[in-house]
Structure 1
Amino acid sequence: MSNRNSSVDEKRLSLRAVLGEDVVLTQADDMRRYCTDWHGDVTSGAVAVIRPRTTMDIQAAVRACGALGLAIVPQGGNTGLVLGATPDQPDHQVVLTLERMNRIRSIDSDDFSAVVEAGCVLAELKDAIAEKGMFFPLALGAQGSCRIGGNVSTNAGGINVLRYGMTRELVLGLEVVLPDGSVFDGLSTLRKDNRGLDLKQLFIGAEGTLGIITAVSVKLTPYPDHVATALLALGSLDNAITLYRRARRDCCDLMSAFEFMPPLALTLAQEAMPDLPIPLSPQYQAYVLMEISGSGLVDIDDLMQRFLEGVMADGLVVDGTIASSQTQARNLWLIREGMNEGQAKRGSHMRTDISVSLSQLASFVADAEAAVLGALPDCISVSYGHVGDGNVHLNVLPPAGLTPDERLDRIYEAKKVVNVVIDRYQGSISAEHGIGRLKRDDFDQRVSDTKRNLLVAIKKAIDPDLLFNPHCQINLDATFCKPA
């Protein structure tokens, strides 16, 4: 085997010899889609793309890359938004994709659990579980492409966090290949297990910096065969927060989603999907997409009807519609998804992923949008997100007709302006997307010395040679790196 000082071509030959021609891609055209981020904004390169089929394949790949001095960037569905799965050193990194490790190993309805390989597409997992009368509640716009290992590695959020929690709350156990090629076998489905530290938590949200997740055991719930979905119009975002508090009280834990959108959301959705029916006028100040769901003896439709009668009688909701079929419910959710596509059609723009305390969400949006308007009066702010967990996506759209460099200048300035407001509210620059490479410098500026020391100590203990995703999440001190 070639050593660390071998050329890129020699390292490629060595990888193919050890792992097999079918496992290793080295041609630029074959590797391009693995080296380009989800939005197509960034394209890099890699020494190779490794496509293992088994955990043992990954062990062999990790050991081979370690011997060659190659860092590994693990990749699931490549749907991340912060460049966490995009290589940034083409001559020193490989991409290891989990796409071939996509088996569902087991579904146990009596145990309310499933064990699935990391490369399984989220939507396919949800469908297979639904066939067994069970439900896996993680729900994302990219669920037709994202993979469960990536969801776990980024601690993905989505629309059902309000009721079911982040991905972390849905994980019972993990199988992980470590930087030395050994395997942490923690695929237990036990709900209670106090035998020392819960080591799986180290890898959830770590974005592939500590280990490569190869399989996951997940928590299931009964399938919610009764679902009521409503699109509601309100006079202000403050009213949306009041409505949320009321819904939490009246609908209790049966409320599974509560999303807020601005009036521009309806316009953007129609720009992206001209044939999509928009049941409400875009004349109101705020919109809420609300869903309650359950199974068994609960009358969900009656609960939604009685709740809306009360809040409309009180003047809290000024207009609205309840889906009368699954198709209508799907169309209401397409407004939320189409809004994102509509923004993309207007060109590159600033995307944020912010969390603040629930009580401050409305005032944060008002202050942040005012700050953007003051600094960039020709740009448009689009704020939307998950009321129940304080997660705001405050995006900024530059005007049409700018050059690419001018758009980048607007985006950079908008980020600085919004980050100042986030800091004032003691919020987070990443609610659910992760840090990756895109937010690494912003994170680095805000992390305390104590937290930084802990993060570096954990990385040094598990991955002293910086084999796994070394430029992701946190800037590591140069003295940490061992010479090649």
Structure 2
Amino acid sequence: MTIPVPADVISRLKAVLGEGGWSQDPERLAPKLLEWRDRWSGQTPFLALPGSTEAVSAVVGICFEAGVPITPQGGNTGLVGGQIPMGEILLSTERLRAVRDVDALDDVMVVEAGVTLAGAHEAALAKNRRFPLDLASQGTATIGGVISTNAGGTAVLRYGTTRDLVLGLEAVLPNGEVWNGLKRLRKDNTGYDLKQLLIGAEGTLGVVTAASLKLFPILPSRAVAIVGLASPRAALDLLARAKEAAGGGVEAFELISRVGVDFALKNIAGQRDPLAQTHPWYVLVELASGEPGSAEAALERLLAQALESGLIADAAVAQTKTQAQALWSLRENQSPAQKPEGATWKHDVSVPVSRVADFLDEAGAAMTAFAPGCRICAFGHVGDGNIHYDVLRPDGGDDGAHSAARDEGSRRVHDIVARLGGSISAEHGLGAMKTQEALRYKAPVEVAALRAIRAALDPKRIMNPRVHF
């Protein structure tokens, strides 16, 4: 239901945003009110499209004064509903698209929040540098969005999450004031780190408008392979061997179940079975090095030893960039490949790397008992313990019945995750989907501290009010 907004507030917003800076056109709003997986659809009385930090400040200041709630939105690629307004003013950062600076000596790039991840990659490459955050949604995901959700992606094993890649932020705080924290420092030990509060806050502590991001050299040696193996435990053994063979050169280590491969072959045009024979599990591994030829040599040694010992059953090494992209396409299309298969319980969880196989064993037994005939599609960043664990309705089953059991089924999965020392949200955030569920697993003392921080910065709770604590 649309939250009543005083007419004078709408008039003031229109005045500060100017022509092209706002919309109430249902057709213009429609794509911003529907979540990618069609689980959440929202409403808003007004779409704010500020084109500068000053305009964002004006919008937030007006809403703060009037006590009118705001939902910030980047590229609308979020998967937990945190970016979908349910009657709040919708503030989109899509017009904040400037690349303010790229400095190869500092290895820093300053970009505005509406720059897409792909755009950030291109800007870095133009200076012979790399910004290593890689997501399947890089063409639409924005810098502000990935910062607000602390996105992970495929290269966390080597470079860390978004939190590890941000040096400074510019943000509009909930009262409308602008905080210019666009530092480029690797060391700054001067008290509380405000940027780290904003990273992962999902817009609840303010609107990120720009960021200083770390850049890295482009590594000349890169090798990609896909291997077939019998179990996740074998995959963990292979990961340990890969780390020994390449040191810090393991850039990605992605686990894919055969169920996921089958879905991709069935539902995504142009996909091919990666190996001659089928296998229960697959690992996509990528090594990179600054020494020409060393990643290729390390991967060759790793696979030869793993085949000889029987750890893996088969492997295919990409010989060209096109072949490497084809292997990555199989991984990146795991979520789209599920959409035609019907209702799904989605889980973005993490456990200690050493417990990944335990989690998959225990969760598989629990889901098979709870939802007989369900199809389990597990894939993800096993190198950092993050598994996307999706439970699809039985083939030919009823979507409604499966969806009705989602909450209970997911709670059983999350209970296993918690018992193994894990997290119910590894990289997607809490959003509307998991905010209440998280209270089940967080200690009261932690929740109280988080609420105190939020109350101090946003006493009227106007920023994304349905999300977080």
TM-score by length of 1: 0.93
Secondary structure (helix, strand or coil) at the match of 1:371 reads: helix
In the aligned structure 2, how far is the partner of 1:75 from the partner of 1:407?
30
Q: Is the 8 A contact 1:256 1:292 kept in 2?
A: yes
In the aligned structure 2, how far is the partner of 1:276 from the partner of 1:59?
46
Q: Is the 8 A contact 2:111 2:212 kept in 1?
A: yes
Deviations 1:149-208 (A, max 9, x none): 111111100000000000110001000111111111110111111122222111011110
- The match for 2:342 is 347
Q: Is the 8 A contact 2:246 2:295 kept in 1?
A: no
Q: Is 1:272 matched up with 2:272?
A: no
- The match for 2:33 is 35
One-letter amino acid matched to 2:153: G
In the aligned structure 1, how far is the partner of 2:129 from the partner of 2:25?
42
- The match for 1:458 is 453
In the aligned structure 1, how far is the partner of 2:31 from the partner of 2:39?
12
- The match for 2:247 is 252
Q: Is 1:445 matched up with 2:440?
A: yes
Correspondences of 1:236-385 after superposition (within 5 Å): 236-281=231-276, 283-297=278-292, 299-385=294-380
- The match for 1:477 is none
In the aligned structure 2, how far is the partner of 1:194 from the partner of 1:305?
43
Q: Of residues 96, 110, 127 in structure 1, which corresponds to 2:105?
A: 110
One-letter amino acid matched to 1:390: G
Q: Is 1:234 matched up with 2:229?
A: yes
One-letter amino acid matched to 2:72: P
Identity %: 38
One-letter amino acid matched to 1:314: S
Secondary structure (helix, strand or coil) at the match of 2:20 reads: coil
In the aligned structure 2, how far is the partner of 1:236 from the partner of 1:405?
32
Secondary structure (helix, strand or coil) at the match of 1:247 reads: helix
- Return closer, same or farther for 1:318/1:211 CA change in 2, 3 Å cut-off: same
Deviations 1:310-345 (A, max 9, x none): 121111111010000000000001111222221111
Secondary structure (helix, strand or coil) at the match of 1:445 reads: coil
Q: Is the 8 A contact 1:162 1:389 kept in 2?
A: yes
Q: Is 1:77 matched up with 2:72?
A: no
One-letter amino acid matched to 1:204: I
In the aligned structure 2, how far is the partner of 1:197 from the partner of 1:410?
43
In the aligned structure 1, how far is the partner of 2:308 from the partner of 2:15?
72
Q: Is 1:53 matched up with 2:48?
A: no
- The match for 1:24 is 22
Q: Is the 8 A contact 1:346 1:397 kept in 2?
A: yes
One-letter amino acid matched to 1:436: G
Shift of 1:8: 5.3
Q: Is the 8 A contact 2:5 2:68 kept in 1?
A: no
- Return closer, same or farther for 1:282/1:426 CA change in 2, 3 Å cut-off: farther
Q: Of residues 185, 190, 195 in structure 2, which corresponds to 1:195?
A: 190
Q: Of residues 425, 432, 444 in structure 2, which corresponds to 1:430?
A: 425
- Return closer, same or farther for 1:362/1:404 CA change in 2, 3 Å cut-off: closer
In the aligned structure 2, how far is the partner of 1:79 from the partner of 1:6?
27
- Return closer, same or farther for 1:87/1:343 CA change in 2, 3 Å cut-off: same
Q: Is the 8 A contact 1:18 1:64 kept in 2?
A: no
Secondary structure (helix, strand or coil) at the match of 2:344 reads: coil
Q: Is the 8 A contact 2:100 2:110 kept in 1?
A: yes
- Return closer, same or farther for 1:402/1:27 CA change in 2, 3 Å cut-off: farther
Q: Which deviates more, 97-106 or 220-229?
A: 220-229
Shift of 1:250: 1.4
Task: Report how many residues are paired.
Answer: 467
Q: Which deviates more, 142-151 or 222-231?
A: 222-231
- The match for 1:131 is 126
In the aligned structure 2, how far is the partner of 1:403 from the partner of 1:285?
27
Q: Which deviates more, 326-335 or 179-188?
A: 179-188
Q: Is the 8 A contact 1:62 1:181 kept in 2?
A: yes
In the aligned structure 1, how far is the partner of 2:468 from the partner of 2:186?
30
One-letter amino acid matched to 1:302: A
Secondary structure (helix, strand or coil) at the match of 2:466 reads: coil
- The match for 2:385 is 390
In the aligned structure 2, how far is the partner of 1:227 from the partner of 1:347?
37
Secondary structure (helix, strand or coil) at the match of 1:388 reads: helix
Secondary structure (helix, strand or coil) at the match of 1:78 reads: coil
The root-mean-square deviation of aligned C-alpha atoms, in Å, is 1.6
- The match for 2:115 is 120
Unaligned runs of 5+ in 1: 475-484
Deviations 1:75-124 (A, max 9, x none): 11110111111112x1xx11111110011100001111110001100011
Deviations 1:369-413 (A, max 9, x none): 110001111211111111111111110000244454323113333
Q: Is the 8 A contact 2:393 2:399 kept in 1?
A: no
One-letter amino acid matched to 1:70: V
- Return closer, same or farther for 1:285/1:402 CA change in 2, 3 Å cut-off: closer
In the aligned structure 1, how far is the partner of 2:372 from the partner of 2:6?
49
In the aligned structure 2, how far is the partner of 1:236 from the partner of 1:41?
32
- The match for 1:479 is none
Q: Is the 8 A contact 2:172 2:208 kept in 1?
A: yes
Q: Is 1:166 matched up with 2:161?
A: yes
Q: Is the 8 A contact 1:79 1:146 kept in 2?
A: yes
Q: Is the 8 A contact 1:267 1:282 kept in 2?
A: no
Deviations 1:285-307 (A, max 9, x none): 22100000123445221121122
Q: Is the 8 A contact 2:9 2:62 kept in 1?
A: no
TM-score by length of 2: 0.96
